Structure 1
């Protein structure tokens, strides 16, 4: 298999379109057409991880965090980032990063945390904006059904648990074919009036290329009139963080001890205990302080995340507990998730879980 084929499998789980604008995801180093000898899955790509890949004949590293985040203006080996990239290039090892694409995936980072902690029926905490678009096009009435079906087959018209959704309005379209045109209907130089159906369908933004291709392929007109708009509506299955319920309520200290054990946390920094039982739990892997307000609004009893600053703990406002368990600790099981996923998708391929310890924070 090539790098491209494997990354396409990964993007079924976490399409790169899910990634945040500030992020750097996808193939960071390497040629997509290269044949893959083995895959090493890691949370971070460091020099030690490159050495591990070399030792196990893996020429593709699938990394959660991107080693190249900002721009690289030089490669002199003066930083750990430059040295890692140089070593990867020298040894013809490709690096692919998923990061916030997997954060926003409904089966990604936060779903894994919920699985480990036994949080049931999790829902997205902060749905991602700009994930839904709407296509409006105008089709001769007799061709409308064929075009509609082609759009549905390409992924349009899915709303929640419903498929093949569209809104259609009949009317009269007009056009005049000028010199050089090849009209499907009407004559050169004459205004033509045609009974047309206006078709409206909603689709996931990541499917836009396929939707447009289907439209242009199956529409009978030489020049296709259509409009695509990004909707304010949100897909509630895509976004940051999750919130769900414990099967049985737990005492605060009992639940904090459970988090510490299950998430292998050396310590937990938390806000004031409130003396109430815990049942509704919000989680957001990595730096999640930006979601404190959303967690409160969800009615969560506790919000599990990382990298919370001193004054941000006050934002709990005695309405919930903020539990900071560490950045690495919230994301550490992500590589297990990816290994399990790839192993199921390509069971006879060399998929390896990195054994390198990449947590930069040590505890006394």
Structure 2
């Protein structure tokens, strides 16, 4: 299947998830680890880069003058073609991830900004100095509260009127459902929205029913459920993709896993237009994100393809399709080649650091 001629963009950065340098701390605020790059956008871009070459990925990093050179180098590890290090006069946004246990990834986690974040908007892509304006983004990933979402939609509507024909993936708003193509809440968010303690599948179908009540087009729904994996409810496929890792010892830090999942998911939708394949790609992206602190930049394609094969086999077998010795699996494996995307296409992400 040929790729679309427009780029793809899981832009976390113009929503509530801004780029920042993050320090981990215990419940008293005392640092427990060295600072690292953070923010949903960089995890999403990294998840996409597992499957797409750098010329197909675009990432805007608004860099303050105090951003250390080592972090600039790390960002450029996504590929120089993929990253726009846009200078900003203000200092780099910094934040704390707080763990009540004092151990990374254990105990209750809270988040605190140490300096004001900068909000980007979709129209930042179309500025005269933007190297990512032509071609414009194909997918935009939005993660924010309802008030911020209204602002994002207003800006998107202006872009629509000016001829932009991209798609929105949203986390998660019911009333705006008809204006987005994919809604991607996690299970806890969905339980809160629906005021229920129902299981994942029930929540997904209740959420879909609510959107039907509001009329208009009903988007695909992908519910992220942590260790359970994800459940997809779309026109072309409904089903589960399990989490790749089954052993807790492989998990170092779950920060950014959901964002990495979204990067892989949207890369899959961009490259294959297949919800099943895209959900598997998302799970693979998340599997690399949780194995270390910070984004997993520079993963060898051999490891990506090996995990794609293994997880595709597990999904197939859960659906009653068993591989023979010569089998290479279903479309998820067949479409996993990293060379299937035209160099004229691009997956975009923007982030403020």
Q: TM-score with structure 1 length normalisation?
A: 0.24
Max Rg structure: 1
Q: TM-score with structure 2 length normalisation?
A: 0.24
Instruction: Give the structure with the larger strand fraction.
Output: 1
Which fold has the larger relative contact order, with Cα–Cα distance below 8 Å and residues 6 or more apart in sequence?
Answer: 2
